Amino acid sequence: MRTLKVIVVSGGVISGLGKGITTSSLGRLLKARGIAVTILKVDPYLNVDAGTMNPYQHGEVFVLDDGTEADLDLGNYERFLDQSLVGTHNLTTGKVYRTVIEKERRGDYLGNTVQIIPHITGEIKRGIREVFQTSGADVVLVEVGGTVGDIESMPFLEALRELSYELGEGHMAFVHTTLVPVVGPVGEAKTKPTQHSVRELRAIGIRPTMIIARGPAPLAPEIKAKISLFCDVTPEAVISVPDQSTIYEVPLVLEAQGVGQQLTKLLGLPDREPDYTAWKEFLATYRRDSSEIRVAVVGKYTDLRDAYLSHIEAFHHVQGRLGVTIHLDWYDAEDLPRDPAALARVSRADAILVPGGFGARGVEGKVLAISAARETGIPFLGVCYGFQMAAVEFARNVLALPQANTTEVEPATPDPVVCLLEDQKTLATLGGTMRLGALKVSLTEDSRIAQIYGRTEVSERHRHRYEVNPAYLNRFREHGLRATGRSPDGRVEVFELADHPFFFGVQYHPEFLSRPEAPHPLYLELVKAALARKGVPADVAPAPARA
Ligand code: GLN
């Protein structure tokens, strides 16, 4: 019988230490040894899921195959593990309380007083066991969102403490990620914040088995020794992870310090020789730096890069396949209508990406950027709202319908080229009309999009409410904009423009499916088109053998 093995990753001192990358990398270490692994994120906030959260506060909402709107760390897990996850892998306080309250209302607790311990903690443990059962993994990594010491994360840490007691020796490892700041004129590394946060953890009854020290530079041996002494972990289990030029380096940094061996030993797992062949090929190509291109990204959350994390990573994956350095230049869509110099810079980009979004702010700037791409032949990819705005731009400037718009922005537009479809209008009052998750898209045979994918049936993830209005499709087609991808029920999923080097809009979100070892074909071809336009031959590295 399989027995549950768990690696908990907590964070101390401050947030934003790269706990998600650490957790993902630990997963990769085990996977490289042929161990079946999965990851669960627990998020102490009260939102049931990330769907209602502002990208400015929390970064992008990452959509899973099953339509769950999840924390962006789930995206890191999928990319590092090269595995798709489902909604049970993101447990929030909101979800846990909702379940417990529903059970209470149904009378499941048989008149007992319902309490944080044991009912909330019990539900958290049930969630972890459920992921173990349904995923078939031998090891479940649990990343605890927030920082140890937060009131919010207490029930989660308590549940994990209980679980480690229940599972007994050799079934659980606690990895604590902390900051070792470097201060003062001589650049002294300070261990006190780490000591304090470990003390906090021990007060809850958890003794870390490994400490991952983040900071600007590698830890000196005496600093490792000091942390070991004060925090009661072996010196080998104090791991130094200084900032890296790419996050994809982190698994190798951990491996070099024996983390994989230590964890397998702790959990009684087979320690096979790890295989990083494909991963190392990716990194080698990533650094080749044979030429460079600049991509203009025109969005409305450009002040917070995390709001576009999956797009950024998708370009990194392309860099790891083509060996060209890809610079992303960020443009706030709201500035473009009033800043001709910025618009002129967009018009000189090697490629333009208009990502998704919601609401009226910034849409006119997106339309201007799309015009520039369409008219000058700059390779263009429009994703979701970017795709819808490409339809608006085309209707206004090619079909000469100056008031064309999406009804999301202008409900009374005489030319609603993007709108709610009839069947959605009745549903709208009930809420929950968002089209979410992995859905089939059929591509027109002999279209360019089908060539790019090398297939005519694909599955892509969605997150949108509005649709391209089919009433305009004939006129679009007569002028060169063809709908070459459709959902099984006929919704428009893809636009491609004839007589343009590369002009594609997609209703779905290709960025969510790009992986280091398998860059998404749309991003790959966008960059190749940009290189071709510059006269640089794209030297595509062969696809690495997939683990
Ligand atoms: N706002 C648009 C819609 O709801 C696009 C959504 C998106 O870009 N994710 O349809």
Q: Cα of 463 to ligand 1 centre, how many Å?
A: 7
Task: Name the burial class of residue 442, with classes exposed (0-12), middle (13-18) and buried (19+) by CB atoms within 10 angstroms of its CB.
Answer: middle
Residue stretches of the chain with pLDDT short of 70 = 423-432, 539-547
Mutate to test the pocket of ligand 1, among 311, 406, 463 (most ligand atoms within 8 A of CB): 463
pTM for the full predicted model = 0.94
Give the per-residue pLDDT at 429: 47
Q: Cα of 503 to ligand 1 centre, how many Å?
A: 19
Residue nearest to atom 8 of ligand 1 (CA): 356
> Could you list the active site residues?
384, 509, 511
Which residues line the pocket of ligand 1, CB cutoff 6 A?
356-358, 384-385, 388, 408, 463-466
Alpha helices per DSSP H over 454-547 = 473-478, 521-534
State the closest ligand 1 atom to the C-alpha of 408, by its place in the atom list counted from 1.
Answer: 1
What's phi and psi for 239, nearest 5 deg? -110, 130
Give the per-residue pLDDT at 491: 96
State the closest ligand 1 atom to the C-alpha of 509, by its place in the atom list counted from 1.
Answer: 9
Nearest CA to 419 out of 350, 347, 470 is that of 470
433/437 Cα distance (integer angstroms): 13
Q: Cα of 423 to ligand 1 centre, how many Å?
A: 18
Residue nearest to atom 5 of ligand 1 (CA): 385
Q: Tell me, rounded to whole angstroms, the distance of Cα 7 from its chain centroid.
A: 21
Q: Which residues of 174-191 are buried (b: 16+ CB within 10 A; e: fewer)?
A: bbbbbbbbeeeeeeebeb
State the closest ligand 1 atom to the C-alpha of 355, by its place in the atom list counted from 1.
Answer: 8
Give the per-residue pLDDT at 187: 84
- Distance (Å) of CA 22 to CA 14, 137, 376, 476: 15, 19, 43, 48
238/257 Cα distance (integer angstroms): 9
Residue nearest to atom 1 of ligand 1 (CA): 358
Domains of the chain: 6-275 (3.40.50.300), 282-420+431-533 (3.40.50.880)
Q: Cα of 119 to ligand 1 centre, how many Å?
A: 38
468/419 Cα distance (integer angstroms): 6
439/435 Cα distance (integer angstroms): 9
Give the per-residue pLDDT at 543: 57
How do 69-70 and 62-63 pair as beta strands? antiparallel
